[in-house]
Structure 1
Amino acid sequence: MSARPLQDRAVLLFIGLAAFFCANAVLAELIGVKIFALEDTLGIAPLNWNLFGQTGSLSFTAGTLLWPVVFVMTDTINEFFGKRGVRFISWLAAALICYGFLFAYAAISLAPASWWVGSMSAQGVPDYQAAFAVVFGQGMWTIAGSLVAFIVGQLIDVSVFHRIRRATGERHVWLRATGSTAVSQLIDSFVVIWIAFVLGPQQWPTSLFLAVSSLNYAYKMGFAIALIPLLYLMRHAITRYLGAARAAQLRADAAAD
């Protein structure tokens, strides 16, 4: 008699990785509306960079805080569960992002309690309803840009990952991880900002679009490289959790997927 699904360590592993992946993806989309200044956040003087004619502090979307974690999750799932695993969690995450924004808009449309609207005035927020609507509404252009970039980036990532894997076999885990991220995030970093802020109502100039997109891409790639040791650590931990034989079988099945 076969083991029950929830007694199978590989099934539990996939559920855990998928849940963590989806949670990070949804959170990254929700907080991505904020653009933060790196030097001001670190409490240092602006570097007065000049990129495509834009000067000042280095600016990033807040979603970049979580995307490096999503990259590690993607590469780990790719390694052990193959294309079907990554595609499944990517579409699941996209559905959950839509679900989250749907209920965010539902919450915005609820009539606010009169006392609640001014409840944060002392903290500098005279209209709590307006602030809530701006932060959680984000606008259809931002949502559309985020979803298109996310799905396209994930599908490209899994394709490049397995192309490199076929060429290198089980060697050079770091190469297929960073190589797939380099290609997918080049598209993701530019597409989301182009749709959200250039096509959208804000109508960013080309120079600002190129500057912010390039900085976000550089940030993501820097973290993708910095997190390579974490990727190997997770691979080692998963192998210990599943057992060497089961882990090797999963990787072989994923490679043949």
Structure 2
Amino acid sequence: MSEVSPGQLHERRERVFLVLAGTFLCAMTLLNIIGITRFVQLGPMALAVGVLPYPLTFLCTDLICELYGRKRANFLVTVGLGLNFMILGVLLLGNALPSVPAESMPPWQILQLAAPVHLPNGETVEQTVGLYQLIYATTSGAVFASMLAYIAAQYCDVQLFHFWKRVTKGKYLWVRNNFSTLMSQMVDSVMVITVTFGAAFMRDELTFKMMMVLVASNYIFKATVALLDTGPFYLGVHYLRRYLKLEPGETATHD
């Protein structure tokens, strides 16, 4: 292997961390922005489109845990939490500021309704609804729900990853990768669905069976992706350790 200077090695390690962190934050932000704006059918599973990229967040945190240690992983999760607050703050600000007069709005900003619609945030609109009002109603509650689920699931994933690493004495990558992700994604799936659709359930617009179908669909999808990413996780650790000049068990930062 070619020799690299300490400065080049430091830059190489920071660039890899930046790519992993950027992928993590992008997937998390997509969950909040497109959230429950549409549901898609994947076989027997009904999934919100925002869930599709979300399993990548667990792969990224596991790679960062393995290559950079717990402190870097917790730092990234904390940055993601801050971005959640920023997204929610912008949504609240946009909803609170006065709108331009209706006659000045472009026609595509006003949607005509054929029947009354109960929005996810509890509002009921009967004739027209603004495009932003609809986006706000479908994303603000989902962002709040994802924040609660995010805090519980991501920190849980980091802690469980290192727990299994201690138990296995640094062996069996697949154990800490899968067991930490499968457990934390169960927490995430239950929390995000119950908080997002709790109001609709209380208004009898969503049955308990439908809630359980959504929870099960979310978890089955995430668990399936988690099991499938075992191969990419092994390949990532194998090649990135060589690229980052890390010995087995060594991390690029010191906890």
Normalising to structure 2: TM-score of the pair?
0.78
CA 1:137–1:241: 2 relative to 1, 3 Å? farther
CA RMSD, 1 decimal: 2.9
The answer on whether the counterparts of 1:117 and 1:129 sit within 8 Å (CA) in structure 2 is: no
Please report how far the alpha carbon of residue 193 of structure 1 lies from its aligned counterpart in structure 2 after TM superposition.
1.0
The answer to whether the 8 A contact 1:101-1:137 is kept is no
Aligned amino acid, residue 19 of structure 2: G
- How far, CA to CA, are the matches of 1:98 and 1:65 in structure 2? 22
Q: Does the 8 A contact of 1:68 with 1:224 survive in 2?
A: yes
Q: Point out 4+ residue stretches in structure 1 off by more than 4 angstroms.
A: 2-7, 112-116, 125-129
1:92 counterpart residue number: 79
Deviation per CA, 1:103-146: give whole Å up to 9, x if none. Answer: 2333344525745441378xxx5499723322244365433221
**Per-residue deviation, residues 32-55 of structure 1 (Å, max 9, x unmatched):** 22342315xxxxxxx7xxxxxxxx
1:184 is displaced (CA, Å) by 0.5
Tell me the SS of whatever aligns to 1:8: helix
Matched position secondary structure for 1:161: helix
The residue number in structure 2 matching 1:53 is: none
C-alpha distance in 1, partners of 2:17/2:219? 28
Q: Distance in 2 between matches of 1:144 and 1:206?
A: 21
**Percent identity at matched positions?**
23
Structure 2 partner of 1:52: none
> In the TM superposition, what is the alpha-carbon distance from 1:230 to its structure 2 partner?
1.3
Question: Displacement of 1:23 after TM fit?
Answer: 1.8
CA separation of 1:61 and 1:136: change in aligned 2, threshold 3 A: same
Between the aligned partners of 1:238 and 1:3, the Cα distance in structure 2 is: 17
In 2, the alpha carbon distance for the partners of 1:135 and 1:120 equals: 11
Provide the residue aligned with 2:35 in structure 1.
32
Contact 2:146 2:192 (C-alpha < 8 Å) held by counterparts: yes
Contact residue 63 and residue 233 of structure 2 kept, 8 A: yes
SS at match of 2:108: coil
Letter in structure 2 aligned against 1:111: S
Count of matched residue positions in the alignment of Structure 1 and Structure 2: 232
Residues 152 and 188 of structure 2 are in contact (CA less than 8 Å); yes or no, is this contact kept in structure 1? yes
- What are the equivalent positions in structure 2 for 1:39-78 lying under 5 Å apart? 39=42, 58-78=45-65
- Runs (5+) with no aligned partner, structure 1: 40-46, 48-56
1:13 alignment partner, one of 12, 16, 28? 16
One-letter amino acid of the counterpart of residue 149, structure 1: A
Q: In structure 2, do the counterparts of structure 1 residues 60 and 171 end up closer, same or farther at CA, with 3 Å as the change threshold?
A: same
Question: For the structure 1 residues 147 and 248, does the alpha-carbon distance in structure 2 shift closer, same or farther, using more than 3 Å as the test?
Answer: same
Amino acid aligned to 2:65: N
Is 1:240 matched with 2:237?
A: no
Instruction: Rate the CA distance shift 1:7–1:173 in 2: closer, same or farther, 3 A.
Output: closer
- Indicate the SS of the match to 1:37: strand
Per-residue CA deviations over 1:185-239 (Å, capped at 9, x if unaligned) read 11110011111211x3553332221111011101100011112111122213312
Find the aligned partners of 1:35 and 1:192 in 2 and give their Cα distance.
Answer: 16
Q: Assess, with a 3 A threshold, how the Cα gap between structure 1 residues 115 and 241 changes in structure 2: closer, same or farther.
A: farther
Equivalent residue for 2:165?
165
Using the alignment, how far apart are the partners of 1:69 and 1:228 within structure 2? 12
Structure 1 residue 13 displacement after superposition: 2.4
Q: Is the 8 A contact 2:9 2:244 kept in 1?
A: no
Ranges in structure 2 where 5+ consecutive residues have no aligned partner: 114-127
> Within 5 A, what are the aligned runs for 1:174-189?
174-189=174-189
Retained in 2: the 8 A contact 1:33–1:135? no
Distance 1:228 1:92, change over 3 A: same
The structure-2 alpha-carbon separation of the partners of 1:98 and 1:202, relative to structure 1 and needing over 3 Å to count, comes to farther
Provide the residue aligned with 1:228 in structure 2. 230
Provide TM-score, normalisation by structure 1.
0.78
Determine the C-alpha separation between the residues in 2 that align with 1:120 and 1:111: 11
